[in-house]
Structure 1
């Protein structure tokens, strides 16, 4: 068995957890789960469990929003030409779509609003100098960047020289020197009083839309035209928020919870078609649906071809076009998976053929011809398997483009900074980053990066840790308890799906399932007459199992032929002798 530390999360204050249980009238496990997620007061818990749009901060507390509203309103009223410049990921695509749809909903002529999204391979990330003339060709008086622009000092200056004013909507960490834009909306910028700093760009964009509608209302804009209900846009906001893997607490929790309900009756033809293409049961919508089924399909176009396809899909008013584009994205996603699988297999083979690389505290792999649009996903897969900071570099014509993912305890941006003598460009944050490198520098960079990891990481850091919320026997699960637990959704960063541990769980049935037999299907005994269905994805290597196991699992409802039953999604399985500590819950 691989070496994995199992660690129970500890409560800071068990007394407050008990008060929460009594005050809410919930199960002790539910109270513990809430407390572990920082929800320790009854009033806070009630808002957490029933998020409402009424609890959103007023958008005008966001620095720059009033100035942005004044400029955009002026552009609308004087028939200026507006170009929305978005990033090529789901956050950028949904932000671009949101603004496009809002302008359409308030009657701005379509010929006055355009959008531009750079090509990942040809242009690279963000607002690029080579893209400014392309924006100018579209006809542009005012450029609004979404999900990019906060570091684009030179590019904003170039746009101004060409007679284009810029408003920046971004959520990335701000540099010391900000662009000289007309207005900047970013919760991280100095002086911004917006209380929630964890918004995705689409969340910042929605705040602008809320403030802009109010500003136009005050100016009498809606005296002669209908005022849009902004709730209709929250399904798009939820999609971008979940796909960008930002924390799902606070404002984001409101956006996602309300947005998921809105998505069940979405009025956007493209989103409805995408749900159908992905074969989503809208009555069972969850954050995971957005992150694992919808988001990858929209991302696929940006990774392999043209992210504008995603914007066209989300904004189309033509049913035939909606169907065609959703099918096109589905095909692109299939291609993405095949390319990703091929590169992942090559990368794993390179590692497994080198004992030296497997012994190092960091992984740096490079290859000619790897597609730069999927190497970030491959890096994530390798981190999951080998638990090492990982950099995957796609080389072409003497230049390497790399994506990196990390583990707890290793800050990627700091690691790249320590090795910057070998890099052409780099950027990112603690857990994800990217770089550009000359191929001649890859070997010295690998040495320097690995040495930095050796200095920073301890042996414990390199041992994967399975953190669980509580020890709780599957035999104690009930429909009522699971209904309580489901109120914690939507899950994501800062609010992970509860992970429980059961000991000495009897295995009643077991078999390998899936096209390649890679998944393990079980029935585990919870009483003499009752057993529960369980599924362990990708865990064929532990088959066959002994009669009793220790398992880390997530309880969930399974729906089949109109019936509901409890199912366990198994994260990890160990023979009972592998974990010897006394019960911890």
Structure 2
């Protein structure tokens, strides 16, 4: 049974936030998440860290402005996940609005693999670009940039992934995580990086008099797309990213989203007027990601680029179909993975590295995430790519930096990893087909050095108990307005309830009536229809349920225990 713990609140920070005007109900939640000053909660566009804090961004702006002036052909090379797709859409939309001749290509997950490879460069060269612009990739593309240089094509790398030991010899690199970059937010997603580059380009064009007599393009119009990519890539929502997401959500709620995002909400049956980070991370994001996982991410990019609502709806419908197909594949893979792990005691290892010959390469990342959640261990799931190699996707737990762990594995086992890269929480790796057992041993060894047994114990963090009369629709609405997400988790509370009624809905969910003192609450337990005891200790979120135009409070249960089990 996981341990339920309460986040500690910095009382001094809480008092300062309240004194500065923060809502008394929100102040302890923010203080428990590391907010120390009210200014960190700013959501206005002018509070963003200025672009000139990014190293080499002025060089990138000059390079692009010169290219536009000369009528050069620009080609965006994207990645096949949601961050790459949104970054590509931002680049193409902004560059076209700023007068550039620009097109894009996106590598196919199964034919090309990740990033600016020499093969991708050779295909790109068929379009005769003068300049390649990478988005959400490129920092590891040493061979790809070398190939582009041989072919006479300059490369501007915009990326956010952690650099390796060797830097590509690109014309210019903009990456907050490269050596010597003083940008304070190291958590920008790829879409955030290219958005900043576009801001710098607009400023450079303005200095050159490009907008004399006419207003420059309003790049804030792209923030709905920036918000989607930032949340979907599960980067930490630090103060700067929260501004980007808040601004994007505000545009979506105001009915100003691009046709593609509006269509993604429509096919999912979600109203845009009450859009929240949940909708970006668990509604629009998975549908966009489904294109890259199951087919070709150009479907998703076109959905975000088009200004035609009819075409956007057609593309969003296709993305919705691909996402339903992905769910079926994922369910089958999860069933086989759990069967594979059924006889392995959880205490046997610090990590899990799993493979099945029938697994879908586009879905192993989701599988790794599900298995990580279930076993609370770093997980790599591998699929064969048909070319004699295994491609693995990994997910990690708190306190274990996955990309750094792979770097240690690589340094200690020469030639084992053909390619790797990623972040603290997620990473990818490519192995020769016969190297899985060697990788499993090496990865486990590194994890045993960096993790303790206590790190592997499940903990559910909450914001403590609310009095029964504090569970209100008003508070649920207030919480919905905040851009919660990775590194800034939405609030969970813990409480003891009597279960007055329970019934199964849609075959796999439980609809409940809970009682706490004189208060009765409607509640849902999604994904579990097992009967609950008469009294429970529950970890829950405050949600707003809308039905036939009326809004009511709903408690969404995420964990339940028998409250009387320890009463003796």
Same fold (TM over 0.5): yes
| Contact 1:469–1:499, Cα closer than 8 Å, also in 2 | yes
Secondary structure, aligned partner of 2:430: strand
Give distance in 1, aligned partners of 2:289 and 2:474.
38
Partner of 1:499: 492
Secondary structure, aligned partner of 1:221: coil
Partner of 1:371: 360
Give distance in 2, aligned partners of 1:250 and 1:256.
10
Moved segments of 4+, more than 6 Å: none
Secondary structure, aligned partner of 1:232: helix
Partner of 1:5: 3
Does residue 164 of structure 2 align to residue 175 of structure 1?
yes
Give distance in 2, aligned partners of 1:444 and 1:25.
53
Partner of 1:318: 308
Secondary structure, aligned partner of 1:234: helix
Does residue 549 of structure 2 align to residue 562 of structure 1?
yes
Of 435, 438, 441, the residue aligned with 2:435 is 441
Give distance in 1, aligned partners of 2:283 and 2:124.
32
| Contact 1:482–1:555, Cα closer than 8 Å, also in 2 | yes
1:158-215 Cα offsets, whole Å, 9 max, x none, are 2112111111111111234322222111111222232221111111111111111111
Give distance in 2, aligned partners of 1:235 and 1:507.
41
Counterparts of 1:131-142 in structure 2 under 5 Å? 131-142=120-131
Give distance in 1, aligned partners of 2:370 and 2:498.
31
| Contact 1:473–1:501, Cα closer than 8 Å, also in 2 | no
Partner of 1:273: 263
| Contact 1:26–1:484, Cα closer than 8 Å, also in 2 | no
CA separation of 1:536/1:119 partners in 2, compared to 1, >3 Å: closer, same or farther?
A: same
CA separation of 1:61/1:285 partners in 2, compared to 1, >3 Å: closer, same or farther?
A: same
CA separation of 1:76/1:415 partners in 2, compared to 1, >3 Å: closer, same or farther?
A: closer
Secondary structure, aligned partner of 1:368: coil
Does residue 29 of structure 2 align to residue 33 of structure 1?
yes
Q: CA deviation at 1:538?
A: 2.0
Q: CA deviation at 1:494?
A: 2.1
Give distance in 1, aligned partners of 2:306 and 2:23.
45
Partner of 2:186: 197
Q: CA deviation at 1:22?
A: 4.7
Give distance in 1, aligned partners of 2:22 and 2:231.
30
Does residue 89 of structure 2 align to residue 91 of structure 1?
no
| Contact 2:75–2:129, Cα closer than 8 Å, also in 1 | yes
Of 485, 505, 520, the residue aligned with 2:510 is 520
In angstroms, what is the RMSD of aligned CA positions?
A: 2.1
CA separation of 1:191/1:389 partners in 2, compared to 1, >3 Å: closer, same or farther?
A: closer
Partner of 1:583: none
Does residue 57 of structure 2 align to residue 65 of structure 1?
yes
Q: TM-score, normalised by structure 1?
A: 0.91
Does residue 481 of structure 2 align to residue 465 of structure 1?
no
Partner of 1:227: 216
1:61-111 Cα offsets, whole Å, 9 max, x none, are 211111111111111111111101111111111111111111222333xxx
Give distance in 2, aligned partners of 1:39 and 1:241.
20
| Contact 2:162–2:421, Cα closer than 8 Å, also in 1 | no
Secondary structure, aligned partner of 2:147: helix
Give distance in 2, aligned partners of 1:446 and 1:217.
54
1:376-430 Cα offsets, whole Å, 9 max, x none, are 1001111111222222111245421111212234333344345443433333333
Partner of 2:246: 257
1:210-241 Cα offsets, whole Å, 9 max, x none, are 11111111111112655211121111111111
Secondary structure, aligned partner of 2:26: helix
Q: CA deviation at 1:480?
A: 4.0
Q: CA deviation at 1:443?
A: 2.6
| Contact 2:4–2:461, Cα closer than 8 Å, also in 1 | yes
CA separation of 1:385/1:17 partners in 2, compared to 1, >3 Å: closer, same or farther?
A: same
Q: CA deviation at 1:345?
A: 0.9
1:235-278 Cα offsets, whole Å, 9 max, x none, are 11111111111122212111111111212323533232222222
Secondary structure, aligned partner of 1:549: strand
CA separation of 1:460/1:269 partners in 2, compared to 1, >3 Å: closer, same or farther?
A: same
Counterparts of 1:173-572 in structure 2 under 5 Å? 173-223=162-212, 226-264=215-253, 265-266=255-256, 268-352=258-342, 354-355=343-344, 359-395=348-384, 396=386, 398-420=388-410, 421=413, 422-487=416-481, 489-503=482-496, 505-514=497-506, 517-528=507-518, 530-541=519-530, 543=531, 545-572=532-559
CA separation of 1:175/1:400 partners in 2, compared to 1, >3 Å: closer, same or farther?
A: closer
| Contact 1:114–1:138, Cα closer than 8 Å, also in 2 | no
Secondary structure, aligned partner of 2:431: strand
CA separation of 1:533/1:377 partners in 2, compared to 1, >3 Å: closer, same or farther?
A: same
CA separation of 1:173/1:228 partners in 2, compared to 1, >3 Å: closer, same or farther?
A: same
CA separation of 1:494/1:357 partners in 2, compared to 1, >3 Å: closer, same or farther?
A: closer
Give distance in 2, aligned partners of 1:81 and 1:397.
34
Secondary structure, aligned partner of 2:211: helix
| Contact 1:351–1:357, Cα closer than 8 Å, also in 2 | no
| Contact 2:54–2:181, Cα closer than 8 Å, also in 1 | yes
Does residue 127 of structure 2 align to residue 130 of structure 1?
no
Of 130, 149, 153, the residue aligned with 2:138 is 149
Q: In terms of mean alpha carbon deviation, does 284-293 or 532-541 score higher?
A: 532-541
Q: Where does structure 2 lack aligned partners over 5 or more consecutive residues?
A: none
